[in-house]
């Protein structure tokens, strides 16, 4: 039961016997569970001659923030986040090694911007052979599905969409040890989620596979976790404990800005602003023997 349902029930108790829960919810004419005030719009992101069309919300509402803070619902997957833009900026330097002709698993894909960006960007010869877009939030995956369908040139056999929560077992036939590269952008806002994130990335990868993690330091805290002084080092240590070693570390100042946003989507942070807040892009390699 959501927090708002609980509020509605309290109101029933206060207002006495004349009402039942159904009547009150009908009076309000509101969806009690999700995105009461959000509005999805269609946005366009362009990089050179590539256009990516994305349905998304421009920002989270106070209701979304409240639900996120109290653990009721994570609606972050409906926005496009700075870490995804950092990935788009870095494609020029990462494409050949990490993505071209590779089987890719995206973790926490949200709107699908990362995976769709890979599938649309650059010439056909430099694209992945297959991208599986995954997220824990089925609502975000529906948006992601519609976003994939916006691009009618994407061949249906080149991508898949699947619900996947980090740390949960992967289905052996389809997922385990079958990907060349795993990808996650801007997914670290609860530091307690690092171990299951690395665990899933590790089990999904083939030997020597790569994990591309585009990271923007946010309020990386958790009630279950003590504060961390050096977040980058903490992520690297956690990766090492999870069977990876650091292969490349790219910071925003090393990159050119590679894309533009159109429409009402806010212009994302500049590369120098990303640098200033400590955003960076890690490429980890799966340790051969672990």
Q: Is 159:191 a contact under the CB 8 Å cutoff?
A: no
- Contacts of residue 93, defined as CB under 8 A and 6 or more positions apart, other chains included, come to 250, 254, 255
92 vs 196, which CB is nearer to ligand SAM?
196
First to last CA, the chain: 42
Cβ 199 to ligand SAM, closest distance in Å?
Answer: 11
Cβ 243 to ligand SAM, closest distance in Å?
Answer: 19
Tokens found for residue 176: 């385990």
- The three-state (H, E, C) secondary structure of 71-117, written as one string: CCCCCHHHCCCHHHHHHHHHHHHHHHHHHCCCEEEECCCCCCHHHHH
Cβ 113 to ligand SAM, closest distance in Å?
Answer: 5
136 vs 177, which CB is nearer to ligand SAM?
136
Question: In the block, which residue shows the tokens 């972050």?
Answer: 76
Question: In the block, which residue shows the tokens 């089987």?
Answer: 103
Cβ 276 to ligand SAM, closest distance in Å?
Answer: 19
Question: In the block, which residue shows the tokens 């289905």?
Answer: 171
DSSP state of 189: S
What does DSSP say about strands 205-215 and 159-163: parallel, antiparallel, or unpaired? unpaired
* Binding region for ligand SAM (CB under 6 A): 74, 76-77, 80-81, 83-84, 108-110, 113-114, 135-137, 140, 165-166, 185-187, 193
Cβ 220 to ligand SAM, closest distance in Å?
Answer: 12
Cβ 151 to ligand SAM, closest distance in Å?
Answer: 17
Roughly what angle, to the nearest 10 degrees, separates helices 113-120 and 138-150? 20
56 vs 154, which CB is nearer to ligand SAM?
56
Q: Closest residue (Cβ) to ligand SAM?
A: 77
d(Cα 193, Cα 223) in Å, to the nearest integer?
12
DSSP state of 130: E
8 vs 79, which CB is nearer to ligand SAM?
79
d(Cα 196, Cα 182) in Å, to the nearest integer?
14
Cβ 175 to ligand SAM, closest distance in Å?
Answer: 13
């Amino acid at each position: 039961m959501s927090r708002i349902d609980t509020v509605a029930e309290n109101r029933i108790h206060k207002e006495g016997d004349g009402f039942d829960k159904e009547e009150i919810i009908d009076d309000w004419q509101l969806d009690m569970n999700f995105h009461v005030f959000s509005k999805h719009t269609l946005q366009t992101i362009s990089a050179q001659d590539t256009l990516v069309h994305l349905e998304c919300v421009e920002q989270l509402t106070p209701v979304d923030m409240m639900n996120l803070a109290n653990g009721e619902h994570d609606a972050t997957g409906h926005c496009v986040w700075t870490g995804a833009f950092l990935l788009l900026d870095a494609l020029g330097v990462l494409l050949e090694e990490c993505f071209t002709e590779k089987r890719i698993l995206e973790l926490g894909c949200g709107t699908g911007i990362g995976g769709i960006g890979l599938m649309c960007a650059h010439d056909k010869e430099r694209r992945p052979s297959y991208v599986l877009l995954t997220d824990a939030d089925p609502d975000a995956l529906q948006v992601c599905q519609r976003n994939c369908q916006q691009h009618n040139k994407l061949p249906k056999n080149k991508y898949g969409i699947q619900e996947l929560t980090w740390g949960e077992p992967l289905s052996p036939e389809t997922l385990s040890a079958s990907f060349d590269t795993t990808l996650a952008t801007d997914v670290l806002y609860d530091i307690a989620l690092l171990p299951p994130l690395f665990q899933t990335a590790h089990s999904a990868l083939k030997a020597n596979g790569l994990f591309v993690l585009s990271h923007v330091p946010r309020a990386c805290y958790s009630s279950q976790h003590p504060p961390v002084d050096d977040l980058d080092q903490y992520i690297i240590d956690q990766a090492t404990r999870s069977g990876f070693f650091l292969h490349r570390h790219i910071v925003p100042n090393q990159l050119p800005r590679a894309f533009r946003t159109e429409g009402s989507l806010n212009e994302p942070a500049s590369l120098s602003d990303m640098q200033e807040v400590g955003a960076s892009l890690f490429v980890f390699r799966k340790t051969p023997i672990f």
